C-alpha cells in the first residue's frame, strides 16, 4: 500500500497576513448616508423632514431678510425707515444706533457717563474673577465681588461729594445700567438670604422652621408683580413717615426678597442631596452647627447645585423687566419709550426695538445658561470617577 | 435615672450630668434663639402695623373692606359675568378673577399640547425637527416673557389692519386691530338634548374606559377604547343634533364702516396674553417632557421590544406611564408659573385680577393694604388648590414600592 503523505500547507490555503481593513460600504458613511439616516429613514420621517423644511423655509429667510439683508443700517430719522416706492424696508437698525446710548444709560447725565462705563468694567472684572475657575486668588475675588464692588458701585453711580463725584438721583438712572444694577443686587443678595432661609427651613428649631416655611411658601405662591406692587405701595406705609424710601430701592427690596425665596428652595435641594453621613461625620468631629455648615455641608451642597443657582439667576435677570410696570426706567422701558418717539415713527421701529431687546436679553441669559451647562458637565465628570 | 439618656435629656439631668452654662447647652440656646427671633419678628410686624395705621389716618385713607360694595364707576372691556360701570368694586373683583382663570385655563391646555409636541420633537432622531425644536426652546426660554408679550401686542396685533380693512376669513370671521370677530352661536330650544347626550356620552366613555382597563389587567385583552370614545362623544351627539332638527344657528358679525356689529369679539389683549403665555410656557414644558422621557431607561424600551410590543404600544404602555411620574411634579410648577405669569396682563391692558383690582381699584380707593392682601390671597389659594390636586394625581400615579 502506498500512501502519499501530503503536507497540508501545499494543498490548503492558509493566509499568512491579516486582511486589510476595508472601509464600511459607501451606503453607511458619508454625507449621503447621514442624510438618509437622519432625515429619510422611514416614510414618517420623510414627512417630518418635509414639514420641518417647509417651516424653516417659510420662517428663516424672512427673519434673515428682516434682520440683515433688507435692514436699514444708517439714517438720521424716520425718513430712512419708511416705505419707499411702496416697498417697506427691513429692520430699522439706524433707530437703534441713534438711541443706543439712551438704551444703555437712560437719562444719566452725559458728562457723568464715564462712571457708568467704569461700573461696567469693574463689574465685568468681578464676574470674570468669580466664573473663571482657574483664576488666581479667587478668595480675594469673592470679597471683591460681594463687598468691594457693591460699595464702590454705590458711590460711583449715586455720587460721593467727598470724592468730587456729583450726586445723580436714581430717578435719572435708566436703561441697561438699571437692569444690570438690579440684577446684580439681586444676585449678590439672594444667595446669602436664600442659604439662610434654606438652613432655617431644615432647622430643628420649630419657630425658625415655621417662619422660614411661611416666608418661602408665601413668596413662591404669589406673582412677582404683586410683590413689586406691595413693595411700591405698602413699604412706604410700613415705615415711619419721616423716612422716604427711594423708588429703585423699594423695587430692589421686592426683587431681592422674591429671588431669595426661590434660591432657598434650590439650596434646600442641594442640602437634601447630601448623604446623612456628611452631617454625622462633621458632628462626630466635634464641629458646632455653623462650623459644620461652613466647612463641610455648604461647600458640597452649593457645588452640586451651581447649575440650578445659575438657572435661578437667569429667571431673576428676566424678571428685572417687570420693573417697568412699577415705573422703574429699566432697559425694556427705555426701548418702550424710544420706539413710540415720533422722530422714529415707522412701521418697523417697534419690531426692531423688540428684536434688539431680545438679542441683548438672549446674550446675557444664554451666556449664563451655557456656563451652567459647562458646570454641569464638569461636575458629572467628577462624579464618574 | 440612667446615664445613657443623659446627653439628650438636657435639663432633666440629675447629679451625674456635668454642669453646663446655659449658653453652652444647645437645647437652652435653641429656646433662647427662637424666643429672640419670635420677639424680633413680632416687633417688626407691630411697628409696621403701627406705622401703617398712623400713616393711613394722616393721609385720611379709609381702612377695612367697606369699599367692596361701593360703585366702581369704570368699565371693563372683556367680562364673563354681567358688569356695568355702576357695579360694585366687588363685582369688578370677580370679573378680573374670572378673566385670570379664563386665560390661565385656556393657556394651560394649549401650552401642554404645544409643550408635549416640542418636547417630543426635541428628542426626534430627525435632524431638522430636532434642531428647529432646540432653537425654539433656547430663544423663548432666554428672553423675558414681558418682552414677548409686548412684542405680540404692540408689534403684531396692533399692526393688524383697521376695522374697515378687516381681513375677511371664510365662515364669517373678521380679523383687525380690535380683535378677532367670530360668528356667535345661537342655541335653539332643543339644543339641551344635545348637551345631555354629550354628558351621557362622556360618562359612558369613562365607564367603558375603566371597564376596558380592568379587563386588560385581568386578561391582557385590549378593547377599542378610542373607537368607542369617538362614537360616544362625537357621533352620538351629532346624531341627536340632526334628530332634534339642527337647533343651532349663527349670528354672523356685520362689518360696518367703523365698527362691527354682532358676533363674538375676542380682544387682542386676550390673544396677545394667551399667545405669549402659551409660547413661553410651552418651551419650559418641552424641557420637562424631554427630561421625563430621557429618565426612562433604554432597557425598558428594549425589553418591551423583546416581548414583541410594537413601537406604538411600547410608547403607550411602557414609556409614557413611567415618564409621567417624572414629568408631573415639574409640570405642576409650570402650570402655577403660567397662572402667576398671567398677572403680566397689566402691561398690555388685559383686564385680569391684577390689572382690574390691584391696578384700577387700588388707584381709585387708595386702600393698598386691603387690595394687595386680597390679590395675594387669591393667588395663594390658586397655588394651594393646584398643588393639592396635582399632588393627589401624582400620588395616584406614583410608583408603589414594597
- In a domain, residue B39? The reply is no
Final residue belonging to a domain, choices B197, B230, B246: B246
Kindly tell me the sign of the dihedral angle through the C-alpha atoms of B224, B226, B227, B233: positive
Range list of H helices, chain A: 8-11, 30-39, 43-64, 93-98, 100-105, 113-131, 138-143, 149-158, 176-201, 206-221, 224-229, 235-238, 247-273, 276-284, 289-292, 298-319, 331-339, 349-384
Q: Which residues of B touch A234 (CB under 8 A)?
A: 52, 368-369, 372
Q: Are residues B128 and B189 both part of a single domain?
A: no
Q: Which residues of B touch A205 (CB under 8 A)?
A: 30, 33-34
**CB contacts < 8 A (A, B):** 155
A240 burial level (CB within 10 Å; 0-12, 13-18, 19+): exposed
Rounded to the nearest angstrom, the minimum Cα separation between B97 and chain A is: 14
Model pLDDT for residues B323-345, shown as the tens digit of each residue: 888 888 889 889 999 999 999 99
How many residues make up chain B in this entry?
402
Chain A residue with Cα closest to B363 = A233
DSSP SS3 for A14: coil
- In a domain, residue B29? The reply is no
Chain A residue with Cα closest to B59 = A237
User: What would the grid cell of residue A21 be?
Assistant: 481593513
B190 burial level (CB within 10 Å; 0-12, 13-18, 19+): middle
Rounded to the nearest angstrom, the minimum Cα separation between A15 and chain B is: 40
Of B30, B138, B159, the CB nearest to A366: B138
Chain A residue with Cα closest to B29 = A205
DSSP SS3 for B86: coil
Mean of the per-residue pLDDT values of chain B: 84
B376 and A225 within 8 Å at the Cβ level: the answer is no
How many residues make up chain A in this entry?
385
Interface contact B147, partner A, CB < 8 A = yes
- pTM for the full model? 0.85
ipTM of the prediction: 0.86
Domain coverage including residue A48: 34-65
- In a domain, residue B369? The reply is yes
User: What would the grid cell of residue B22 be?
Assistant: 446655659
Model pLDDT for residues B34-86, shown as the tens digit of each residue: 899 999 999 998 988 888 888 888 877 777 777 888 887 788 877 778 888 78
- In a domain, residue A359? The reply is yes
> Cβ(B272)–Cβ(B152) under 8 Å?
yes
Model pLDDT for residues B160-179, shown as the tens digit of each residue: 887 777 777 777 778 887 78
Domain tally, chain A: 2
Chain B residue with Cα closest to A320 = B144
- Which parts of chain A register pLDDT below 70? 1-11, 382-385
User: What would the grid cell of residue A117 be?
Assistant: 462705563
- In a domain, residue A349? The reply is yes
Q: For residue B287, what pLDDT is reported?
A: 93
A53 and B141 within 8 Å at the Cβ level: the answer is no
Rounded to the nearest angstrom, the minimum Cα separation between A210 and chain B is: 10
What values do phi and psi take at A161, rounded to 5? -65, -30
The pLDDT-based confidence of B30 (bands split at 50, 70, 90) is: confident
Of A38, A49, A354, the CB nearest to B155: A354
Q: Which residues of A touch B145 (CB under 8 A)?
A: 318
- In a domain, residue A142? The reply is no
Distance, C-alpha B125 to centroid of its chain: 32
Query: Whose grid coordinates read 436679553?
Result: A361
**Which CATH number characterizes residue B260's domain?**
1.10.3720.10
> Cβ(A187)–Cβ(A313) under 8 Å?
yes
Model pLDDT for residues A321-335, shown as the tens digit of each residue: 999 988 889 999 999
Rounded to the nearest angstrom, the minimum Cα separation between A140 and chain B is: 31
Chain B residue with Cα closest to A364 = B142
A325 and B347 within 8 Å at the Cβ level: the answer is yes
Domain coverage including residue B194: 185-246
**Which CATH number characterizes residue A356's domain?**
1.10.3720.10
Q: Are residues A51 and A104 both part of a single domain?
A: no
Of B142, B151, B376, the CB nearest to A365: B142
Rounded to an integer, what distance in angstroms lies between the CA atom of residue B274 and that of residue B287? 20
Amino acid at each position: 500500500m502506498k500512501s502519499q503523505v501530503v503536507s497540508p500547507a501545499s494543498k490548503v490555503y492558509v493566509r499568512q497576513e491579516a486582511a486589510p481593513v476595508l472601509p464600511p460600504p459607501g451606503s453607511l458613511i458619508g454625507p449621503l448616508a447621514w442624510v438618509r439616516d437622519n432625515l429619510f429613514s422611514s416614510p414618517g420621517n420623510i414627512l417630518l423632514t418635509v414639514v420641518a423644511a417647509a417651516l424653516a423655509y417659510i420662517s428663516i429667510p424672512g427673519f434673515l431678510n428682516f434682520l440683515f439683508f433688507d435692514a436699514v443700517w444708517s439714517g438720521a430719522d424716520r425718513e430712512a425707515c419708511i416705505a419707499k416706492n411702496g416697498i417697506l424696508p427691513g429692520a430699522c437698525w439706524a433707530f437703534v444706533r441713534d438711541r443706543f446710548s439712551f438704551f444703555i444709560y437712560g437719562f444719566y447725565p452725559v458728562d457723568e457717563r464715564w462712571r457708568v462705563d467704569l461700573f461696567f468694567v469693574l463689574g465685568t472684572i468681578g464676574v470674570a474673577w468669580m466664573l473663571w475657575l482657574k483664576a488666581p486668588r479667587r478668595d480675594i475675588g469673592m470679597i471683591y465681588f460681594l463687598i468691594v464692588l457693591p460699595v464702590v458701585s454705590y458711590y460711583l453711580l449715586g455720587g460721593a461729594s467727598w470724592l468730587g463725584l456729583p450726586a445723580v438721583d436714581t430717578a435719572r438712572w435708566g436703561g441697561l445700567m438699571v437692569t444690570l444694577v438690579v440684577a446684580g443686587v439681586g444676585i449678590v443678595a439672594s444667595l446669602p438670604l436664600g442659604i439662610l432661609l434654606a438652613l432655617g427651613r431644615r432647622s430643628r428649631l420649630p419657630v425658625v422652621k415655621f417662619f422660614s416655611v411661611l416666608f418661602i411658601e408665601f413668596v413662591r405662591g404669589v406673582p412677582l408683580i404683586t410683590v413689586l406692587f406691595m413693595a411700591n405701595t405698602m413699604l412706604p406705609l410700613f415705615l415711619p413717615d419721616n423716612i422716604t424710601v427711594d423708588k429703585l430701592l423699594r423695587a430692589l427690596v421686592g426683587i431681592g426678597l422674591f429671588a431669595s425665596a426661590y434660591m432657598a428652595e434650590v439650596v434646600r435641594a442641594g442640602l437634601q442631596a447630601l448623604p446623612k453621613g456628611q452631617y454625622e461625620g462633621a458632628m462626630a468631629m466635634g464641629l458646632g452647627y455653623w462650623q459644620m455648615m461652613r466647612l463641610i455641608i455648604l461647600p458640597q451642597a452649593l457645588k452640586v447645585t451651581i447649575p440650578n443657582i445659575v438657572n435661578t439667576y437667569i429667571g431673576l435677570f428676566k424678571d428685572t423687566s417687570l420693573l417697568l410696570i412699577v415705573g422703574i426706567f429699566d432697559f425694556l422701558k427705555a426701548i418702550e419709550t424710544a420706539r413710540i418717539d415720533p422722530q422714529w415713527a415707522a412701521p418697523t421701529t417697534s419690531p426692531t426695538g423688540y428684536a434688539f431687546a431680545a438679542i441683548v436679553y438672549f446674550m446675557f441669559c444664554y451666556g449664563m445658561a451655557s456656563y451652567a451647562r459647562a458646570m454641569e458637565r464638569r461636575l458629572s465628570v467628577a462624579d464618574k470617577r | 435615672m440612667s446615664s445613657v439618656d443623659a446627653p439628650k435629656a438636657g435639663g432633666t439631668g440629675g447629679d451625674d450630668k456635668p454642669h453646663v452654662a446655659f449658653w453652652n447647652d444647645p437645647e437652652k440656646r435653641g429656646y433662647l434663639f427662637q424666643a429672640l427671633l419670635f420677639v424680633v419678628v413680632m416687633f417688626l410686624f407691630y411697628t409696621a402695623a403701627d406705622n401703617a395705621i398712623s400713616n393711613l389716618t394722616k393721609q385720611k385713607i379709609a381702612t377695612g373692606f367697606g369699599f367692596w360694595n361701593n360703585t366702581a364707576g369704570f368699565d371693563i372691556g372683556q367680562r364673563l359675568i354681567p358688569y356695568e360701570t355702576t357695579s360694585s368694586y366687588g363685582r369688578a373683583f370677580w370679573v378680573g378673577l374670572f378673566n385670570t382663570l379664563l386665560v390661565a385655563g385656556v393657556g394651560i391646555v394649549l401650552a401642554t399640547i404645544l409643550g408635549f409636541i416640542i418636547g417630543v420633537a426635541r428628542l426626534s432622531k430627525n435632524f431638522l425637527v430636532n434642531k428647529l425644536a432646540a432653537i425654539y426652546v433656547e430663544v423663548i426660554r432666554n428672553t423675558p416673557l414681558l418682552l414677548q408679550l409686548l412684542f405680540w401686542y404692540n408689534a403684531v396685533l396692533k399692526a393688524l389692519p383697521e376695522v374697515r380693512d378687516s381681513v375677511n376669513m371664510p365662515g364669517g370671521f373678521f380679523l383687525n386691530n380690535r380683535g378677532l370677530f367670530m360668528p356667535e352661536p345661537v342655541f335653539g330650544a332643543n339644543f339641551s338634548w344635545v348637551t345631555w347626550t354629550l354628558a351621557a356620552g362622556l360618562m359612558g366613555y369613562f365607564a367603558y374606559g375603566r371597564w376596558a382597563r380592568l379587563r386588560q389587567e385581568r386578561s391582557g385583552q385590549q378593547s377599542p377604547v378610542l373607537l368607542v370614545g369617538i362614537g360616544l362623544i362625537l357621533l352620538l351627539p351629532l346624531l341627536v343634533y340632526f334628530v332634534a332638527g339642527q337647533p343651532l344657528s349663527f349670528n354672523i358679525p356685520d362689518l360696518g364702516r367703523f365698527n362691527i356689529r354682532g358676533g363674538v369679539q375676542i380682544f387682542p389683549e386676550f390673544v396677545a396674553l394667551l399667545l405669549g403665555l402659551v409660547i413661553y410656557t410651552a418651551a419650559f414644558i418641552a424641557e420637562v417632557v424631554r427630561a421625563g422621557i430621557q429618565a426612562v431607561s433604554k432597557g425598558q424600551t428594549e425589553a418591551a421590544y423583546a416581548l414583541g410590543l410594537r413601537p406604538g404600544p411600547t410608547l403607550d404602555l411602557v414609556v409614557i406611564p413611567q415618564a409621567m411620574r417624572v414629568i408631573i411634579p415639574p409640570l405642576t410648577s409650570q402650570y402655577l408659573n403660567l397662572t402667576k405669569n398671567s398677572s403680566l396682563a397689566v402691561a398690555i391692558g388685559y383686564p385680569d385680577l391684577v390689572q382690574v383690582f390691584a391696578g384700577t381699584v387700588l388707584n381709585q380707593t387708595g386702600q393698598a393694604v386691603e387690595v394687595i392682601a386680597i390679590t395675594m390671597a387669591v393667588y395663594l389659594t390658586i397655588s394651594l388648590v393646584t398643588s393639592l390636586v396635582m399632588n393627589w394625581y401624582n400620588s395616584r400615579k406614583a410608583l408603589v414600592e414594597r
